[in-house]
A and B are shown apart, each in its own frame.
Chain A
Amino acid sequence: MADFLLYFKKIGGLIGMSSKIKVNNLYLYYGDFCALNNVNMDIQPNQVTALIGPSGCGKSTFLRTLNRMNDLIDICKIVGEVIIDGENILDPEMDVVQLRKRVCMVFQRPNPFPMTVYDNVAYGPRIHGMKEKSKLDEIVEKSLKASALWGEVKDRLKKPALGLSGGQQQRLCIARLLAIEPEVLLMDEPTSALDPISTLKIEELMEELKQKYTIIIVTHNMQQAARVSDYTGFFLTGDMVEFDVTENIFTKPCDKRTEDYITGRFG
């Protein structure tokens, strides 16, 4: 019964009842090349949304649109609307620094700064003006605990972050985001460079984190998408072919191409 209610709620999300992020008619061009072709989707708060699709179909591009990281690419042109909490973030007037504080990104390759573990986590709060040592200590501890890393690094906070293992580095990168208390976490293949145990840890972590954050994850791993996500979107050469509750995508996809992809017949 409870399952049924949950499912019902998820379906409600699909028709845009309570979206955190609404994407309307989004087109993105790299020069003349159309990398996103009329993407529409509603992303629900406190849920995990997975994006799947073959390499080069525009998943990373889409993700980078949500916190305006594509601004760094000169030839990139965007048309359409991305509305987060009622505000169109593609508006040229939008303060991207404030936006990126709210919508944070974990990259495919763990990329801690060449500083100590502590300084990595404290980086965000510091650049946003936090100076008090005791507050910073508190934030660092809280963020490392929330990213399930505290136990492993509490004795080496002052050691270089690059000395951690790949999996630890990735969780450190997550801690670094949590320290600035974002609302949305964008994760671009966060586990593709990690071993199965580290991957499992990050997946468990996502389960935890979705209580507080809205999570969007790009993954090439179908099992992972099925395990961790509530909604799944399937991209193919810039089109969003299908977007639905995860169970539906994996058990009764509407589109033939989705079915082919998840059953491994191409891609």
Chain B
Amino acid sequence: MNYKTKEKIYEKILLTSAFVSVITIILIGGFVFKEGAPLIAKVGLVKFLFGTQWFPTSGEYGIFPMILGTFAVTLVALAMGVPLGVSTAIFLAEFAPPKVTRVVRPAVELLAGIPSVVYGLFGMVIVNDIIMYVERTYLAGILKPEYQRGYSILSASIILAIMILPTVINISEDAIRSVPNEYKEASLALGATEWQTIYKVLLPAASSGIVAAVVLGMGRAIGETMAVIMVAGNTVAVPDSIFAPVRTLTGNIAIEMGYASGDHVRALFATGIVLFVIIMVLNSVATFIAKKGVSRS
């Protein structure tokens, strides 16, 4: 065989591999849409998305509480995880002596490797207990009794915040490290303090990377199922407090798929479509922002 044929073969193999993922995504997407779309058509898109009643046995399919639940849990998780993650990234990129880095970095990697069900256990046993204690001791007069069991948006968010830390830390740290050293030197040479240099020059220059980190962390939080089921309480109701138990879109599918049949199954697939669309939008946003960052520098 001469080298040209060999090259051709390698190229074909690589091309095929690349197409496996494309075909898979099309298959999954197509399948979910095929199963779920008829139900959305039957119920009506608006009623499906904004209906607040979810009674599959009597044919009521409104997933609005779950959409809200997903976003509430995700946003609160971001509000906690992003500041913590970005601060850690700044510390690792700018201040940490090698000794400290040697401890922090493996810890962060380990965090990424822990199975989500273990996070769930930790949440159920430790986080929920603490929150329940707070609810019963300090907030008993204010909160409804259902809101005093520990299962809540807050506990799910705390667990998710920890789970998105590795994503946020690693990507933000890369972004901060890739800011040219010249900017930093220029700023220090003008008599700026280290801290002024970080928040006036480094962070703005790394902002597209940091935003991408946040969006990817958000994707992770929206998609997380197991850990959230274990701590969120899974009540289908429009949440009105951070202590309210909620059900998320992913949780809804995982909990009910085992025993669903008929239209109920299709409704769960339709829930999948909504998730699919949300994740797709997020990914495009991340890609767009990352591209913008590249073309600027």
**What residues make up the interface of A, taking CB atoms closer than 8 Å to B?**
67, 69, 72, 97-101, 104-105, 107, 109, 111-115, 123-124, 126-128, 173, 176-177, 180
Contact = CB atoms under 8 A, between A and B. Distances in A.
19 contacts: A67-B189, A69-B185, A72-B185, A97-B192, A104-B189, A104-B190, A107-B182, A111-B180, A111-B183, A111-B185, A112-B186, A113-B186, A114-B205, A123-B192, A124-B192, A127-B190, A127-B191, A127-B192, A176-B186
A111 B191 contact: no
Interface string B188-200: 1111110010001
Interface residues of B, number: 19
Given A114-B205, A114-B296, A114-B297, A123 B183 contact: no
B188 A69 contact: yes
A176 B185 CA distance: 13
B186 A111 contact: yes
Contacts of B187: 113, 123, 127
Contacts of A100: 188-191
Given A101-B191, A104-B191, A124-B191, 8 more contacts: A99-B191, A100-B189, A105-B189, A107-B182, A111-B186, A114-B183, A126-B200, A127-B191
B204 interface: yes
A138 B296 CA distance: 29
Interface in B194-247: 196, 200-201, 204-205
Nearest to A128: B191
Contacts of A98: 191
A124 B186 contact: no
A173 B189 CA distance: 11
Contact of B190 (A109, A115, A176): A176
* Main secondary structure on B side of the interface with A: helix
A5 to B, nearest CB: 36
A113 B189 contact: no
Interface string B141-182: 000000000000000000000000000000000000000101
Nearest to B297: A114
A109 B180 CA distance: 12
A190 to B, nearest CB: 13
A114 B182 contact: no
Contact of B182 (A109, A124, A128, A180): A109
Contacts of B186: 107, 111-113, 173, 176
A124 B192 CA distance: 8
Contacts of A126: 200
A123 B297 CA distance: 20
A189 to B, nearest CB: 14
Contact of A124 (B185, B190, B204): B190
Contacts of B196: 127
Contacts of A176: 186, 190
Contacts of A107: 182, 185-186, 189
B185 to A, nearest CB: 7
Nearest to B179: A114
A159 B205 CA distance: 16
A145 B188 CA distance: 24
A112 B183 CA distance: 7
B188 A111 contact: no
A177 B190 contact: yes
Nearest to B189: A105
B189 A97 contact: no
Contacts of A69: 185, 188-189
Contacts of B190: 100-101, 104, 123-124, 127, 176-177, 180
A8 B196 CA distance: 46
Interface in B26-55: none
A99 B236 CA distance: 63
Contact of B204 (A105, A115, A173): A115
A114 B189 CA distance: 16
Contacts of B296: 114
